Amino acid sequence: MASALFALSAMGEGTVTIPTTKSNPFDCSKVNFDQVTYSANWNGNNIDYIGKGDIVSFDLENTEETAYQITFDEATILEEMEVTLVILNSAGTEVYNETVETPCTSGGANDWSNYISITSAPVTPVLSTGSYKFEIRYGAGLWEGQENYFACNINNIAFTAVDGGEKSETVETKGEAMLHGANFDKENSTNDLYVFTDAADFTLQMENRDVEKTPCNFTFPDGTVYSDGINFKNNATGTIVIPAGKKVYALAIGGCSQSDSENLCYLYSVDKDGTNFFTEAIGQNIKDNDVIGTASYVIKADGTAPQFAYLDFSDSPATSTISVVFSGNNQENVWFNIYYTEETEVDEPSDGNDIAFLHGANFDKDHSTNDLYVFTDALEFTLGMENRDINKTPCDWIDPNGVDYTDGINFKKNAAGTINIPEGLKVYALEIGGCSQSDAGNLCYLYSVEKDGEEFFTEPIGQDITDNSTIESTAKYPMFADGNAPQVAFLDFTSAPATSTIKVVTSGNNQVDMWFKLYLSKDAVTGINSIQSSTATISTAYNLSGQQVGQGYKGLVIKNGKKYIQK
């Protein structure tokens, strides 16, 4: 497949400013073509001959914080095809990715003139003001198997501001990362790529270096020891690789020559994201110390100029690489202090749908199978079941507070149930309730929980324990047949929310009837945590709803922030 890139300069300068409307669509002269398979081009206000694998993109400048409905007109002689619409923020992160079907518009084999309007794309999230890239990616084409084939023509691309959409909130936080000898990770580095601990994943690509010869010790005049500096050969390039999602707005460089004060060195050049940011006016390979003394950033062997450069990128932060070259009379020992920002997600305010409940009362038998249980009013959460008969679940039970969870979901001993999390949602905590299906002489317990495929909890006493006294006295989350422990577990995932699956296994003497509460925001977890961290005296007990209870109450209670079974 042929590939080409048509630069903006060839197709028209500038970016598309949004919002637009359908009556004021994009100026298609500002389009970029990438991965061109046929002869994609701009013809008047039409984008013609777009083929399989092609990407049409626009640089966007959003001037209004809002959600958008994306529309465009399309003409194709294919019976059906698909285009994928993608929006990337300034850090290159996708904030919108939706595939749209486009029907045939042709009146005949060569009819490419009959355009129809495509309005079926889902509304975007609320986009903050700033810079974005909008891509239209093509996945089908004519004449498959030939080197050149094409799919459709498009025009009248527009973003129309609309109400609604989910706000994708981010906050930009500042950080610092230092690359020097004290955090140089020799074990995981190579001669070409230097790795550092506690440096926010920044790395340094080195040119013509031997990892065993670096770093080299030096001490600053104020007594600060950065043991060690990173050794740079004269005129060799070191390239700082910036992790995805981070922007470097300034770089401080310190160092000294490896020899006496008669052998001076200097910073020769700095490239930012592949473009020159600084080049020393005196030139490269200067050996005359008097001339070097006039350089902008001089490196002395006696350490009197440890910070010889502070480079301010705040007007246009670096997002991919920063390349540095030193020159002069010797090798240099150098450190870098990197000042960066990073966009991080902010939790959405609660909209009332911050808890999902999986239990018998909302179990949807009509749409479930033996392998996959479906629930109504549960935000599309499902439960993958192992070796179950849908007609035997769920099973009735009432907890000791008198709450009827008609019904519990029946788990066989040692069988796994996997909660499937809908795309775009996060689970910050999981509350599990349940009881053994038999009399008090047959206890069960929560054996293990996996979050996104990784172990989160495993019962230390092991699996297949049938000794009731061991289960009752030792297991972290025992389950009793008389309902004395309806909440068998509260698992807090707030430090790393689950995003794909939560797998649960129970064990013990019998089958178990269970329910699951899923907390979908940090705010939803706060109430539970505030009860758990209560400063109440040991004589004060609370039930799981935070209500104070007396000594006659039976069941799971919270005293002094810890859970106890009160009988």
DSSP for 230-296 reads EEE-TT-EEEEEPPTTEEEEEEEEEEEESS-TTS-EEEEEEEETTEEEEE-TT-SS---HHHHTTSS
From its phi and psi, is residue 283 left (phi > 0), alpha (psi between -120 and 50) or beta? Answer: left
Note down the domain range covering 93. Answer: 5-162
The amino acid at residue 370 is N
314 DSSP 8-state letter: T
**Same-domain pairing of 188 and 95:** no
- CATH number of residue 93's parent domain: 2.60.120.260
Complete DSSP assignment for 39-90: --EEETTEEEEE-TT-EEEEEEEE-S-BEEEEEEEEE--SSEEEEEEEEEET
**Same-domain pairing of 186 and 335:** yes
CA atoms within 13 A on the CB side of 406: 2
State percent of the chain over pLDDT 90: 14
348 DSSP 8-state letter: P
pLDDT at 220: 52
Q: Are 511 and 426 in contact (CB under 8 A)?
A: no
**Same-domain pairing of 454 and 515:** yes
> Using one digit for the tens of pLDDT, what is the confidence trace for 210-265?
666 555 555 555 555 555 678 788 888 999 999 988 899 988 887 777 665 567 88
pLDDT band for 536, please (50, 70, 90 cuts): very low
* 138 vs 561: which has the higher pLDDT: 138
**Same-domain pairing of 372 and 296:** no
Rounded to an integer, the average pLDDT of 131-151 is: 65
Residue 557 lies in a domain: no
Last residue of a domain, one of 315, 345, 375: 345
> Using one digit for the tens of pLDDT, what is the confidence trace for 457-466?
999 999 989 8
This prediction's pTM: 0.39
Rounded to an integer, the average pLDDT of 21-41 is: 75
pLDDT at 477: 86
Phi and psi at 449, nearest 5°, equal -135, 130
Residue 411 lies in a domain: yes
**Same-domain pairing of 268 and 393:** no
Return the structure tokens found at 263.
Answer: 């052998």
Residue 501 lies in a domain: yes
Residue 563 lies in a domain: no
pLDDT at 353: 61
**Same-domain pairing of 87 and 121:** yes
Last residue of a domain, one of 140, 162, 184: 162
**Same-domain pairing of 134 and 183:** no
Residue 565 lies in a domain: no
**Same-domain pairing of 361 and 308:** no
**Same-domain pairing of 183 and 304:** yes
Indicate the SS3 state at residue 119.
coil
Residue 564 lies in a domain: no
How many CB atoms are located within 10 Å of the residue 133 CB?
17
Among 200, 277, 271, 275, which Cα is nearest to 242's? 200
pLDDT at 453: 92
In the predicted model, is pLDDT for residue 552 greater than 70?
A: no
Rounded to an integer, the average pLDDT of 489-507 is: 89
Return the structure tokens found at 90.
Answer: 């300034």
Compute the distance between CA of residue 305 and CA of residue 296 in angstroms, rounded to an integer.
12
**Same-domain pairing of 123 and 185:** no
122 DSSP 8-state letter: P
Instruction: Return the top range by mean pLDDT from 74-83, 316-325, 407-416.
Output: 316-325
| Number of domains within the chain | 3
**Same-domain pairing of 425 and 398:** yes
**Same-domain pairing of 318 and 360:** no
Residue 95 lies in a domain: yes
pLDDT at 531: 35
Residue 75 lies in a domain: yes
Last residue of a domain, one of 162, 188, 220: 162
Lowest mean pLDDT among 107-116, 265-274, 549-558: 549-558
- CATH number of residue 244's parent domain: 2.60.120
10 DSSP 8-state letter: H
pLDDT at 324: 94
Q: Are 110 and 150 in contact (CB under 8 A)?
A: no
In the predicted model, is pLDDT for residue 150 greater than 70?
A: no
CA distances to 86, 322, 499, 514 from 358, rounded to whole Å, are 34, 51, 17, 9
pLDDT band for 563, please (50, 70, 90 cuts): very low
pLDDT at 566: 55
pLDDT at 274: 93
